[in-house]
Amino acid sequence: MAELAASPPVAVPAQRTGVHLPRWASLGVLFGLLSTVAIALYGPIGVSGTYPRFIGAILRIVSPGYAASNSYLVKMGSLVTTETMLVVGLLVGGFLAALLSGSRAPSAELVHAGETSVGRRYRDAFIGGLLIIFGARLAGGCTSGHIISGITQLAVSGVLFGAAVFGAGMLTARLIKGGR
């Protein structure tokens, strides 16, 4: 409770006054239209496949023999895909939105009781990053590919993945909060 005492950095939802939608609602409508446009233009949005494609691109230079023999790298293919372009766009979009809105993101937010130093926050970010990509690749997609695009297309896999993510996420957040 105490570590969350400071107000959230950007997304304070507006009070519902008159016709004004809260920020999450108007941004959600825009994101929904964007994901529709993406599927109309070229295909559903997705992100996490870019990580193993990046590994593949490096291994094809460093160890071409191994890269050619690894069936997963062969299956994931070249880094030149729409998904990679989307990820480059995310970087640019995050940069531009922060710049144009004048919102300054903190260098690191301490989010758990055990994060008593910035170093421990970096450790948690690293461990979390490792787990999300390993889990996403095992399941075949992440928040964008499985949850946003998957459930949007009514995929059973997306619904199951989403339920597992929020179940484990809420439980873990609760366990960590209890102190470790």
Partner 1 sequence: MTLLYALLVGVAMGALIQRAGASSPKMILASLRLENLSIIKFMATTIAIGMIGVYLLGNVVPMHFDIKPTYLVGVLLGGLIFGTGFAVGGYCPGTCVVGIGERRTDAWFALLGGVTGALLFTLVYRLIEAPLIKPMNYGKITLADVTHWPPLAVAAVFAALLLTFVAFIPTIRASRQDRREPAASTR
Residues 109-128 that bind partner 1 (CB under 8 A): 109, 111-112, 118, 121-128
Among 57, 79, 113, 151, binds partner 1 (CB under 8 A): 151
**What span, in angstroms and rounded, lies between the C-alpha atoms of 81 and 90?**
15
Residue 68 interacts with partner 1 (CB under 8 A): yes or no: no
State which of positions 15-54 bind partner 1 (CB under 8 A): 15, 22-25, 27-45, 47-48, 50-52, 54
- All residues at 6 or more sequence positions from 101 whose CB lies less than 8 Å from its CB, including other chains: 10
64 near partner 1 (CB under 8 A): no
- For partner 1, the binding residue among 60, 106, 117, 178 (CB under 8 A) is 106
Is residue 108 within the footprint of partner 1 (CB under 8 A)?
Answer: yes
SS3 153: coil
From the centroid of its chain, how far is CA 61?
Answer: 28
Q: Rule CB under 8 A: is residue 91 a binding residue for partner 1?
A: yes
User: Could you say which of 64, 68, 77, 85 contacts partner 1 (CB under 8 A)?
Assistant: 85
List Cα–Cα distances, 168 to 38, 99, 121, in angstroms. 29, 34, 20
Q: Is 96 a residue that touches partner 1 (CB under 8 A)?
A: yes
Q: Which tokens hold the place of 44?
A: 């559903």
Angle ∠(56,44,37) on CA atoms, nearest 5: 135
Q: Determine the size of the site formed for partner 1 (CB under 8 A).
A: 128
